[in-house]
Amino acid sequence: MSDYRAGIIGAGGIAGLGILGMHDEADIGETKFTASHAGGYAATNDVELVAVADLDEEKLSTFGDAWEIPNAGLYTDHREMLESEDLDVVSVCTPSYLHRDHVVDAAEYGDPDVVWCEKPIASAVSDAEEMIAACDAADAELLVNHSFRFTEKQTRLRELIREKGILGDVHSVSTQFRMELLRNSTHLLDTLVYMLDARAEQVSGYITGENEAVESLDAGQSVDDAGGGGFVVMDDGSFVTVDCTIPRNDSSMTMQFVGSEGKLYLNNDDGEWRYWRLEDGDHVEVDLAEWGIEGAWTWDDDYERAFPNAARHVAELLRGEAENRSTGREATRSLEIIVGFYLSHYTGGQVSVPLDRPLRDVEITSW
């Protein structure tokens, strides 16, 4: 018997059903995927998934069969689930433009101690702020599933940058990933703000209007999310370029940091992490294994394990044993950069962060 009870709003791919383009179509609804909220809960002894809510009865039934949820735990009304079930944690796995409604409902209609929300946190900065306020009022932790924060290698690398100072003062960062901005580059940008512990001050952006997700997700709904990028000046003085215009099959997730004490190259698709220390004007390569990082971050290993790690962190939060590693306030830092790219593109000017009040209401829809 587990110590804590979990429920999920949204019986879709990241909840545990499987994702077209990431998983084989024949496995959708048949395989228990570790890289999912249900998979994370299943990998822990502390948290049991007892209830799921989704408007689509067929999808709900398929999810229940795949994860062995009794019929009594399947709901077509998420508010009914929240009021009927005594849930300690609620996962929100619906499309990002619905996150605001479902996180606020989880805080107000249920009584969870943790709300584990999928990335990106929301489609508008004002929505994210309402979600944070609702969870604060309910004394619930809002944990946003930026998966890289829940991997040992990324956590250790941040310690080396922030506490050991292996880069010194960071001057610039060059980043690259596949389209689209909300669906994909939220990973990239959250990693940026996590590593730097910084926030954007000025944003200038470009939007391509191209979107591959319609085909890969077999989705019929038109959304704003598209490829794009631009430059960002962070409040620590670092200058960042972002390129998320590249088709999925052609892309690699790369980041290159240049600082006063060294430089760092990360490629999470080709499995290459390299570091050079600056010594007397020369960059001398140092093996990251000296600091406990064996090999590079990979999607097949580290990303898979991120979900069980996050679920274990949920249990730590429920027991009061940890500080929230991915708060709503931190997740909003990547969202405001993306919104800034759109505002800059369509107005033809640079955008200052924090966004002025009317601009915080600008919504960028995605799946």
Provide CB contacts within 8 A for 292, sequence distance 6+: 156
Question: From CA 134, how far away is CA 104, in angstroms rounded?
Answer: 6
Q: Give tens-digit pLDDT for 318-339.
A: 999 999 999 999 999 999 999 9
pLDDT tens profile 166-198: 999 999 999 999 999 998 999 999 999 999 999
Instruction: Give the pLDDT of residue 25.
Output: 61
Nearest by Cα to 184 from 148, 155, 157, 154: 148
Asked whether the predicted pLDDT for residue 127 surpasses 70, the reply is yes
Radius of gyration in angstroms for the set of CA atoms belonging to the chain, rounded to a whole number? 20
- Place 30 in a pLDDT band, splitting at 50, 70 and 90: low
The pLDDT of residue 18 is 62
Q: Are 121 and 335 in contact (CB under 8 A)?
A: yes
- pTM here is 0.94
Tokens of 344: 């800059």
**Long-range Cβ contact pairs of 212-220 (< 8 A, separation 24 or more):** 212/178, 212/179, 212/180, 212/247, 212/248, 213/180, 213/183, 213/366, 213/367, 216/20, 216/21, 216/248, 217/19, 217/20, 217/21, 217/367, 218/20, 219/367
What is the per-residue pLDDT for 29?
Answer: 61
Mean pLDDT of the region 84-110: 97
Please, are residues 239 and 171 in contact by the beta-carbon 8 Å criterion?
yes
247-272 residues labelled b (16+ CB within 10 A) or e (exposed): eeeebebbbbbbbeebbbbbbbeeee
* CA dist., res. 146 & res. 19, Å (int): 17
| Cα–Cα distance measured from residue 122 to residue 118, given in angstroms and rounded to the nearest whole number | 9
Of 191, 304, 315, nearest to 253 (Cα)? 191
Task: Tell me if 7 sits within 8 A of 84, measured CB to CB.
Answer: no
pLDDT the model gives residue 295: 86
Would you state the torsion angle of the CA atoms of residues 154, 157, 161, 165, taken in this order, to the nearest 10 degrees?
160
pLDDT of res. 182: 94
pLDDT at res. 20: 55
For tokens 């989705």, what's the residue?
219
CB neighbour list of residue 318: distance below 8 Å, 6 or more residues apart = 3, 4, 46, 47, 88, 89, 113, 114
